[in-house]
Amino acid sequence: MNKKRIGILTAGGDSPGLNAAIRAVGKACMGHYGFQLIGFRDGFRGLAENRVMALDGGQLSGILTQGGTLLGTSRDKPHRMLVNGQICDVTEVIQRNYAENALDALICLGGNGTQKNALRLHEAGLNVLHLPKTIDNDVWGTDMTFGFDTALGIATEAIDRLHSTAHSHHRIIVVEIMGHNAGWLALGAGIAGGADVILLPEIPYAVESVAAAIKERSRNGKPFSIVAVAEGAMAMDMHASIQNHSKKKKAEATELAMAGRTLHLAEALERLTGLEARVTILGHLQRGGTPSAADRLLATRLGTAAADLIAEGVYGVMVAAVGDGTQPVPLIEVAGKVKTVPVGHGWITSAREVGTNFGD
Ligand code: F6P
């Protein structure tokens, strides 16, 4: 029987459930199918530098519940990697390492960036599969990414805890939630945590509208408010000012504006409402620690499905979660697309119906 040799790496920002997925791939590939599996450290950089990690010893034991990734990760891209101070395209080096390791397939665990890089390598002749992970839940073509549910729980608990202190001090607490240019995490945690205002990248806001909602609450005997703001949320005037920019300039302007934006928002709310405001930036707390049960389950489903697809010889795909099952989706159909929150999404409708303000 042909004993396939599989490589695996984790790339992009880490996310809870990566170890659960590595374990699932490993147990299904080696235990169930009798394949060989090796890991590459630190994402595509480790693949280019041929830094291999054996996974056939005890490495997969006891990692289901662990956060982070035992392989390490990086945001390095094969076609633009910093090598000796210079940006280089290392695709050929990667092709060579893939061949020298006698690989039949490479599994890349990551978000949107990883997906694009996986497609590039697939087009360069490697048999690639992508497993969608990110706390942002912004990968097109899959119901859910692993990491999202854990981060949702962490951000929701944070809002719960902020409520009691905001209430006691009659304050506005502005809590910044990750998500890059997508609002899934802020929206989900905002609803689950009962935030009074939720600001999303998908719905440009007017600070006056947010202040009016907070003042209205005060008049109704609730002189405290929780504002859940996605890190990519943008005021209407700024949003309008970058609309004609190129994609690259838009991204640069967004990054620049992100720095300090939440602090400015809190200052403006203080000025406009007369209430004291405080800021909490949840940051990387949302990516750390043990994965939730739902993420362990999703990562295990996707990891074992990847092994099944390799056994069938299906490559060039993302292993998507669809309903209770999984589906291979061609990378060419999804790479480069970002799943943002549709403004008419049911979560938004529900939130509006319970009185949440979106700043619009
Ligand atoms: O994509 C996941 C994510 O956590 C985003 O929500 C956030 O914008 C970004 O990564 C932060 O990245 P870094 O690891 O570079 O701080």
Q: How far is the CA of 216 from the centre of ligand 1 (A)?
A: 35
Q: Is the CB of 116 under 6 A from ligand 1?
A: no
Pocket test for ligand 1, best of 180, 181, 254, 262 (most atoms within 8 A of CB): 180
Q: How far is the CA of 11 from the centre of ligand 1 (A)?
A: 12
Q: Is the CB of 134 under 6 A from ligand 1?
A: yes
How far apart are alpha carbons 11 and 72 in whole angstroms?
A: 8
Q: How far is the CA of 290 from the centre of ligand 1 (A)?
A: 18
How far apart are alpha carbons 17 and 332 in whole angstroms?
A: 25
Which residue from 216, 233, 237, 234 is spatially nearest to 225, judged by alpha carbons? Answer: 216
The CA-atom distances, in angstroms, between 137 and each of 83, 122, 222 are 31, 23, 33
What does the pLDDT read at residue 2? 67
Determine the atom of ligand 1 nearest the C-alpha atom of 287: 4
Average pLDDT along the chain, 360 residues, taken 10 residues at a time? 90 98 98 98 98 95 98 98 97 98 98 98 98 98 98 98 98 97 97 98 97 98 97 91 82 73 96 98 97 98 98 98 98 98 98 98
- pTM, entire model: 0.96
Q: Where would I find the beta strands (DSSP E) of 44-125? A: 52-54, 81-83, 86-88, 105-110
How far apart are alpha carbons 201 and 133 in whole angstroms?
A: 20
What does the pLDDT read at residue 242? 84
What does the pLDDT read at residue 142? 98
Determine the atom of ligand 1 nearest the C-alpha atom of 75: 15
What does the pLDDT read at residue 57? 87
- Residues annotated as catalytic are 136
Q: How far is the CA of 118 from the centre of ligand 1 (A)?
A: 19
| Residue minimizing CA distance to atom 7 of ligand 1 | 180
CB within 8 Å of 248: residues ≥ 6 apart: none
Q: Is the CB of 73 under 6 A from ligand 1?
A: no
Q: Is the CB of 135 under 6 A from ligand 1?
A: yes
Q: Is the CB of 179 under 6 A from ligand 1?
A: yes
* Domain chopping of the chain, boundaries: 5-146+291-334, 151-287
Q: Is the CB of 111 under 6 A from ligand 1?
A: yes
- The CATH architecture that domain 5-146+291-334 belongs to is 3-Layer(aba) Sandwich (3.40)
Q: How far is the CA of 13 from the centre of ligand 1 (A)?
A: 6
Quick check: do 5-146+291-334 and 151-287 share a fold? yes
What does the pLDDT read at residue 346? 98
310-327: b (≥16 Cβ within 10 Å) or e: beeebbbbbbbbeeeebb
224-256: b (≥16 Cβ within 10 Å) or e: bbbbbbbbbbbbbeebeebeeeeeeeeeeebee
Q: Is the CB of 4 under 6 A from ligand 1?
A: no
Which class in CATH covers the domain with range 151-287? alpha beta
CB within 8 Å of 358: residues ≥ 6 apart: 197, 198, 199, 200, 203, 205, 348, 351, 352
Q: How far is the CA of 237 from the centre of ligand 1 (A)?
A: 25
